[in-house]
Structure 1
Amino acid sequence: MPADEIVNQKRALRAELKGRRRNKPQILQDRETAQLTAQLQQLVENLEAHSLSAYLSAPTEPNTRPFLNWARAEGIRTLLPISRVDGLLDWTTGDGETEAISDLGVPEAVGELLGPMAIDEVDLMLVPAASVDVTGMRLGWGKGYFDKMIGSMGKCPPVFAVLFDDELVDEVPRERHDEPVDGVVTPKRVVLLSKRAKALGLAEA
């Protein structure tokens, strides 16, 4: 398939998913937030993770805020990304309260910059996604930050994308630079997608 056709397919799918997220009723969002928090907590406990990377969710994304509060209260070291102009990600632990809106229009933590290599220390990575397919291929939001990060890591910890339940699909458009994830976490379940994830002996929710 021509590259420009794949790009157009991605653009159309992202627009559809954004619209679906914006139209989600608040009462459903609240229920799914509580469910998602429980699923994320269970994954961390099953992996016995002492450190992880995550992100501050935007208003229409699955809400990671209660989970991040739980992780901080449990003493789990949590790195949060800060985008750079060179396409890499810096990391910070933040203070649990202060944040800013990045040039990309998404919320980012504010704190001491730890550098791109800080991510090498974590036991688990939680990343945003528009959609993921059953092979683990992730459709991001088009900036490439997380694909570049995952692809550059020599020893990458398990990577799980955080989605709504209907965003795990049969297939998503793929370009050469796209990187797969090991599994997904949704409000209703944890799904293991890679051989590496299944070898961890985790029970799917």
Structure 2
Amino acid sequence: MSDAIADAKRALRAELRERRQIMSQTARDAAAAGIRVQLDALVERLGARSISCFLSIPTEPGTRDFVAGAVARGIRVLLPVTRADGLLDWSVATADGDIAEGMFGLPEPVGDVLGPIAVNDVDLLVIPAAAVDRRGMRLGWGRGFFDKTIGSMERCPPVYAVVFDSELVDEVPSDLHDQPVTGVVTPTQTIVLAPARR
């Protein structure tokens, strides 16, 4: 990655992180409710019976209510478990599953861990992002876990990134290893994006 792209990514992440930190709790709660409605509708539209999702941290658009509701409806939900080698293991979400702090302080399920290839069987990937542009390029938080996962899948299902409305932007800095997403889910809309051509 060139220094210019790395610097641009770092600057944009810092700005987005600051915006997220100053958001009011009322706005966060409203966003989480909207995300649940949008994701429920997306799962229904795609007929997804097995999905991957992430457990949101307080500054992210909330996904936890969506995950709990999906599990209650009998949808198989795989949650990511970070590994030191930069790959993701997966664990099946349960209604009463314990959550602990994983690598980088992120919430992760406690329980049986499936290997990285477990995600190959899902109908939909729901992933975090700092921002997504209208070409479908996603700016993550810089660790590359989801880019590696998407890039290694033999048959990649639809991939939707979850962001706040203001984080769907005209363009994000990207490099060759960055993977495009199928679409974006915000608290008010779900948009299918044209993936970038490689």
Both proteins in one fold, TM over 0.5: yes
Q: 1:90·1:116 contact (CA, 8 Å) conserved in 2?
A: yes
Write the distance in 1 (CA, Å) between the matches of 2:170 and 2:183. 14
Q: 2:130·2:139 contact (CA, 8 Å) conserved in 1?
A: yes
Write the distance in 1 (CA, Å) between the matches of 2:103 and 2:123. 29
Q: Which residue matches 2:136? A: 136
Q: Which residue matches 1:126? A: 126
> Is 1:154 matched up with 2:154?
yes
Secondary structure, in 3 states, of the residue corresponding to 2:68? helix
1:134-172 deviations in Å (ceiling 9; x for gaps):
000000000000000100111000000000001000000
Return 5+ residue gaps in structure 2 as ranges.
Answer: none
* Poorly superposed stretches of 4+, deviation over 6 Å: none
Q: Which residue matches 2:173? A: 173
Q: Which residue matches 2:7? A: 8
Q: Which residue matches 1:203? A: none
Q: Which residue matches 1:191? A: 191
Write the distance in 2 (CA, Å) between the matches of 1:55 and 1:176. 24
> What aligned pairs does 1:57-72 form with structure 2 within 5 A after superposition?
57-72=56-71
Give the counterpart letter for 2:170 in structure 1. D
Return 5+ residue gaps in structure 1 as ranges.
Answer: 196-205
Q: 2:184·2:191 contact (CA, 8 Å) conserved in 1?
A: yes
- Cα 1:94–1:36 change in 2 (3 A) is closer
Offset, 1:95: 3.1
Q: Which residue matches 1:31? A: 30
Deviates more, 1:37-46 or 1:107-116: 107-116
RMSD over aligned Cα, in angstroms?
1.1
Write the distance in 2 (CA, Å) between the matches of 1:5 and 1:54. 32
1:168-198 deviations in Å (ceiling 9; x for gaps):
0000001111000000000000010037xxx
Secondary structure, in 3 states, of the residue corresponding to 1:81? strand
Offset, 1:8: 0.8
TM-score (norm 2): 0.95
1:67-126 deviations in Å (ceiling 9; x for gaps):
001101100000000011111110001434311112212111112111111001100000
Q: How many residues align?
A: 194
Q: Which residue matches 1:92? A: 91
Write the distance in 2 (CA, Å) between the matches of 1:107 and 1:27. 22
Give the counterpart letter for 1:185 in structure 2. V
Percent of aligned pairs with the same amino acid: 55
